[in-house]
Amino acid sequence: MSTLKLTRFETCDYALMSQDNKLSLIGLFDRIFIQKLPAQHPSMSFVVAAVGKTKSDYTINFIIKNPSGNKINEIVMHVKTNDAGQINIITNLSNLPITEQGIFTIECYEGDVKIGSKELIVSNVPTFQSGKTKN
């Protein structure tokens, strides 16, 4: 059983952490619009905040799956919690391959235990009728 508990899991355009460990998230999103397939999402960050045992080492594994459930990327990180048992993790991902529309999933594991997930919806760019405004 996992000893690490997620308190936040976000996807955004860019994220950074200050020297005093404060997170700054820019451009939060949960949807990607594409014009045609195949496509690539050029850049994104996903951010995890978690609480666990004080000053403990953890292996965090992120698995990105497409709507068909196939793994398209995997990122493994070794992290250590602070004096309060907290940790902030920023992971950057470039050129996410998109070959289908639907719900992509980023799953977060501590070792073999899934501790959270985040969904990203990929769909066509919405089309609007020219000259008509919807109130």
- Considering the domain boundaries, does residue 131 fall inside one? no
pTM over 0.95: no
**Domain coverage including residue 13:** 5-124
Length of the chain: 135
Query: Which of the two residues, 2 and 100, has the higher pLDDT score?
Result: 100
Establish if 94 belongs to a structural domain: yes
Residue 35 is encoded by which pair of tokens? 């014009």
* CATH code where residue 95 lies: 2.60.40.1930
Which class for 121: exposed (0-12), middle (13-18), buried (19 or more C-beta within 10 A)? middle
Is residue 96 one of the residues assigned to a domain?
yes
Number of structural domains the chain divides into: 1
Please give the helix or strand (H or E) that residue 130 lies within, else none.
none
Write out pLDDT tens, residues 89-125. Answer: 999 999 999 999 999 999 999 989 999 999 999 999 8
